[in-house]
Copies of this chain bind each other. A is one copy, B any other.
Amino acid sequence: MVAASRLDDSHDTGGAERVFLALRDRVVSGELKAGDRLPPERELALKFNVSRPILREALRSLAMLGFLEIIQGSGAYVRQPDIALVSDFLTFCMAQQPDVLDDIIQSRIAIECQAIRLACEKASEADLNRIAASLTSLLDTLEDPVLGGQADYEFHSGIVRASHSPALTTLYRALTPLLMQSHVSRRRIVPSGIRNFLVDAHKEVFLSIVDRKPDEAEKRLREHFAIGDEYRRKSLIAEFSKTLPNKQA
């Protein structure tokens, strides 16, 4: 990974990159396991035939990627990188493209619709209780845009979690930062009087999971998303009809 796609292998790269790739490969190949301690810098520098500053460039890079934890006076320890890094990186990559916020929702729908099917099979009692709890807190925070958005997120992430699929959960977590933005902004422009319908939609989705009916659950979830999308369009139009006359005046 990391620049590996660019220079694949032994592209007579610089010393630092050579060391970086060598150590990285030892980690991904499992030769170096989490918790292992690397030899001292001075020793490694000799082993790789580079100076200590160069060796340190490689070590620091690995540390920034989460492959190493370097502790002064102690040593450099291998550690398993956290998914959170992927999340941040993905966020940045997607944020570069225009209109991502609209598009990211498609990924969200994709993950949730598959997750809810799995949830119908695998959801445990605890999963259902957690989702139910987020439903009630959804009711309690109808008036608060921030807390309401948070409850909304917990409901949906609860579904994903109930799928017991690490991969789906990982991807969903990766999307979460971008998701939060659209959540908040969407909820801000939804007419307050209509929120009750949204609550009912959540309830129906939840009940479908309880009944263990995958097709029905996905169908209701899609309707829920479609309704949300509908409201968003309407409020956009409403925004326009407010702003346009101002420009004419």
B88 touching A1, Cβ below 8 Å: yes
Contact with B along A61-82 (1 / 0, CB 8 A): 1011110000000000000111
Please, which residues of chain B bring their CB within 8 A of the CB of A110?
110-111, 113-115, 168
A155 close to B (CB within 8 Å): no
Number of interface residues of A (CB under 8 A): 59
Q: Are A109 and B100 in contact (CB under 8 A)?
A: no
Q: Contact between B88 and A4 (Cβ–Cβ < 8 Å)?
A: yes
- Chain copies in the assembly? 2
Residues 109-136 of A, flagged 1 when their CB comes within 8 A of B and 0 if not, give 1110111001000000000000000000
Q: How far is the CB of A8 from chain B (nearest CB, A)?
A: 11
- Report A140-181 CB contacts with B as 1/0, cut-off 8 Å: 000000000000000000000001011110110011000000
Per-position 1/0 for A1-14, Cβ under 8 A of B: 11111100000000
Which residues of chain B come closer than 8 Å to A1, judged between CB atoms?
85, 87-89, 91-92
The residues of A with any CB-CB pair to B shorter than 8 Å are 1-6, 16-17, 20, 28, 53, 56-58, 60-61, 63-66, 80-97, 100, 103-104, 106-107, 109-111, 113-115, 118, 163, 165-168, 170-171, 174-175
